[in-house]
A and B are shown apart, each in its own frame.
Chain A
Amino acid sequence: MNEIIFDLETGSDAGVAERLGISRREFLKFCAATAATLGLPASAEAAIAKAMESAKRPSVIWLHFQECTGCTESLLRAEHPTLDKLILDVISLDYHETLFAAAGHQVEAARKAAMKANKGKYVLVVEGAIPVKDKGIYCKIGGQTAVDMLKECAADAAAVIAIGSCASWGGMPATDPNPTGASSVAEVLGKPVVTIPGCPPNPYNFLATVVHFLTFGSLPAVDALGRPLFAYSRLIHENCERRAHFDAGRFAIEFGDEGHRKGYCLYKLGCKGPETYANCPVIGFGDVGEVSWPVGCGHPCIGCTEKGVGFTKPIHALAKVKNIEPPASYPGISEDQGKVSLGGAALLAAVAGAAAGAAIHVAKKLDKNDGGTKSEGKKPRAEP
C-alpha cells in the first residue's frame, strides 16, 4: 500500500481513473468541485487533475486525542469524493485509529515504520484536544501521553493540520473550568498550524485544503489563527440566507412562534452567526444543498468554529455583531444636502447689477433736476 511519494512517473488521466475505479468524467468533476471549494479559478481544475494523475500518494498520519470522532465521521459522509473511493486512494493513510482494522502494538509499530519511511514528507492530521495538566496523563495512547505523541509525530511532519475545534483551539473539552487543561495543537507545539475548526467542520474544508497541498505543494492562505481563508474569512452573518430578515427587523422570538415558522432571523434566539467565521451557509452539510445547516433547520448557530463563542457563550445569549467596519453606504452624522443654484446666483447678480446701475443713473438725474429747481427748495413748505 505504501509507496514513496512523488515519483514522477505519471500515468495518463485514464490511468488515474482506472486506478481509482471511477470514470474519467467523475474524476474531472471532483477536480472541478475541489477547485470551487478552494475558491480557485476554473483553470486550477487542470492543475488539480494533473497533480492527481501523479501516482505518488503522500503519507498521512492521523492522530486522535480528546475528541468525539465527529470530525472523522463528518469526513466519512463526504460524497464527492467519497472517502474510501478517492481520498484513501489519493493519499496513503498510514495511521488512523478509527478506520484501521488492526489495533494495539501492531498498529503502533506500523505508525512508527511509516514515519521513519516518510520522514519529513508525511502530513500530520490531529483530531481532538491535548490535555496538558498533570503532565498530560488524562489522555494516553499505548502508554504514551498525547502531548508526547503529538510532539514526536510533529517533529518530522511536512505539514500539520488540526482538524475540528478541539484540535484548533481546545473546543468542547476546553470548556470552563477545563479540568484537564485541554489545549490546541498550536499551543502544545508552540508554533502556528493550519486549523480547520468546526464541530464538526465541513469535510470539504479539510479535503480542499489537502488537495491544495497536493496540487501546489503548499497549504492555502490562512488567517492569523491558521484557518484557510477560502472557508473562514467571512462571518456566517455575511452569507446567511436569512440575512434579509435581520436587516428588515423580522425575528423569531420563541421556538415555534409565527416568526420561527416563517423562517425569520434567529438573532434574538441567540444565533452566533454575527460573530462566527465559517462557510456553513455557503455549502451546507450532507450534500443536500445550502439549507442543510443549523440555521437553515431553524436552530440558531452556536458558533462552534469560534474560540470564545462556541462552548463558551450560552447558546441563547445574544451574539456580538462583529462588523469590522460599517458599510460604506451608511449615512453619516452630517451629509451634504440641499440645492445650490448657479443659475439663481447668476440671475441675482444680474438683478443686483442692474439695480445698482439704475440707482446711479437716477442719482445723477436727480442732481440735474435739483439744479433747475433750487430756488423752489428754499421755501419752508411745499406748495400745492
Chain B
Amino acid sequence: MANAHAVAPLGGRLVTPVTVVLAGLTAIAGVILLIRFFFGIGAVTNVNDGFPWGIWIAYDVMVGSALACGGYAMALLVYIFNRGEYHPLVRPALLASLFGYTLAGASVIFDLGRWWNVWHIFWPGYAQINSVMFEVAVCITAYIVVMWIEFSPVFLEKLGMKDVKRKLNKLLFFFIALGVLLPSMHQSSLGSLLVVFGYQVHPLWQTMLLPLLFLMTAILLGFAVVIFEASLVSVGFKRPGETSILARLSRIMYWTLAAYMAVRVGDLVWRGALGAAFAPTLEALMFWIEMLAFSAPLVLLASESSRARASRLFVSAVLLMLGGFMLRINGFLVGYETGSGYHYFPSVPELLVTIGLVAFEILAYIVFVRMLPVLPKHATH
C-alpha cells in the first residue's frame, strides 16, 4: 500500500573520519585515472591481448551495475507487483542504483580506448544493432536517464517545486515501466555478451541461458543490496533497524533464489557440464565458491524465525552479493581463456581505481542522504 511516508534529510556533519577517508581514496583514483588518460590504459592496468577486459569491466561495470539493481528490484516489487509495504525502501534503493549505474557508466568511459568516439554507439551510420554491446550501452544510458527522472521528485521536494512535481507524478508510471523494462533488457544482455566468446568461456559458465542467469541474479542482487544497505544504514547512522520489512522481503528473495539455483544446476546437468566442476582446476574451485555463496542463504534463511534475525538477513545478503560477484567474475575473467599462454591479475593502480570509485559511491550516498529527503523519518533514539 503506497501510503505517503514522510522522508527527510538525515542532516548531520558531512566531514567525518569516514568521509575524509572515502574522499582520500577517491582522490587517489582520480590521479591514477589522469595517468591512464595521458599514458594509455596499459600504464595503470594489467589488461593485455589475452585478457582485454579486466576488473574495470568485470567488476565496475558488470558487478557494479548488478549491485545497483536495488532500484530495479524494488520498482518491480512495489510498482508492478504492487507490494506497497516495501515503499520506504524504494528511495534509498533508487539512490544507490543511481550512483551504481552512473559510476558503472563512468567506468565504461575510463575503460574505452577511444572514448571520444563513444557517441558513435548512439549515432545512425555507426551504431551496429546486431552487437550485444550496442543494446547494453543504449539500454544502460537510457536507464540512467530514467533513474534521474525517477529520482527528480527528491530534488523537486527539496527545492519546494510542488507543481512541477505533481505534473511529473502523472507521467511517472511510464518512467517506472521503463525503469523495469530497461534493466531487464540490459542486465540479461550483460550475460549475453559472453555468448559470442564461444569456447573461450569455460563450459561451467557458457550457456544459452546466460541472459536468464544474469537477469535472475541481478534481481536477487537487487533484493540483497536493499537488505545490505538498510542494515548498514541502521548500524552506520545509528537508526532503528527495519528488520520486519526486510524479513518479508527476504521471503520473496528466498524463493527467487531457489528458482535461480534450479535453473543454474538444471542447465549444468542438461548440458553435461557438471563434470568439469570436479576437475582439480582453478575454475572448479571458483565455481564451488560461487555455488556455496548462492546455496548458503537457502539454509540460513530457511525458516521464518531465521528470516526475522537481522544478522542472518545481512549475512545472507552479503553471501548473495558474493555469489553474484562470482558469477560475473568467473564468466568474464576466471572462466575466460583465449589460449596462447596469457595471464591476468589486476595491478595495484587498477584495483585502487575500482576501490576509489566504490569509495566515491559511498561518499556520495552519505552526502545525499544527509542533504536530501531520501530516508524515511524515524524517531531518533
Contacts and interface: CB of A to CB of B under 8 A. Distances in A.
Classify chain A: how many residues form its interface, as a range.
20 to 34
Contacts of A382: 85, 88, 242, 244-245, 376
Nearest to B340: A334
Contacts of B340: 334-335, 337
B165 to A, nearest CB: 19
Interface of B: 1, 5-6, 46, 48-51, 85, 88, 231-232, 234-235, 240-245, 247, 308-311, 313-315, 318, 339-348, 350-352, 355, 376-377
Contact of B314 (A338, A344, A366, A378): A366
Interface in A328-349: 334-341, 343-345, 347-348
Given A337-B48, A365-B235, A378-B244, A359 B315 contact: yes
A112 to B, nearest CB: 73
Given A335-B340, A336-B341, A344 B315 contact: no
Nearest to A334: B341
B243 A370 contact: yes
Given A362-B232, A366-B234, 5 more contacts: A337-B50, A359-B315, A366-B231, A366-B313, A384-B5
Contacts, number: 115
Nearest to B42: A339
A344 B345 contact: yes
Contacts of B241: 366, 369-370, 373
A375 to B, nearest CB: 11
A343 B348 CA distance: 6
A223 interface: no
Contacts of B88: 382
Q: Is the contact region of chain A dominated by helix, strand, or loop, or is it mixed?
A: helix
A135 interface: no
A362 B5 CA distance: 27
A344 B46 contact: yes
A22 interface: no
Nearest to B344: A338
Contact of B345 (A340, A351, A363): A340
A341 B345 contact: yes
Nearest to B241: A369
Contacts of A334: 339-341
Contact of A335 (B311, B341, B348): B341
The 6 A-B residue pairs whose C-beta atoms are closest, nearest first, are A366-B310, A338-B342, A338-B343, A363-B311, A377-B244, A339-B46
B308 A337 contact: no
Contact of B343 (A337, A376, A378): A337
A325 interface: no
B244 A376 contact: yes
A381 B85 contact: yes
23 contacts: A334-B339, A335-B341, A336-B343, A337-B49, A339-B46, A339-B343, A339-B345, A341-B46, A343-B347, A343-B348, A344-B347, A359-B314, A362-B231, A362-B232, A363-B314, A363-B315, A364-B311, A365-B235, A366-B234, A370-B243, A370-B310, A376-B240, A382-B85
Contacts of B231: 362, 366
B235 to A, nearest CB: 5
B366 to A, nearest CB: 16
A362 B227 CA distance: 13
B10 to A, nearest CB: 15
Nearest to A342: B345
A337 B242 CA distance: 51
Contacts of B348: 341, 343-344, 347
B343 A359 contact: no
Given A369-B240, A376-B240, A341 B347 contact: yes
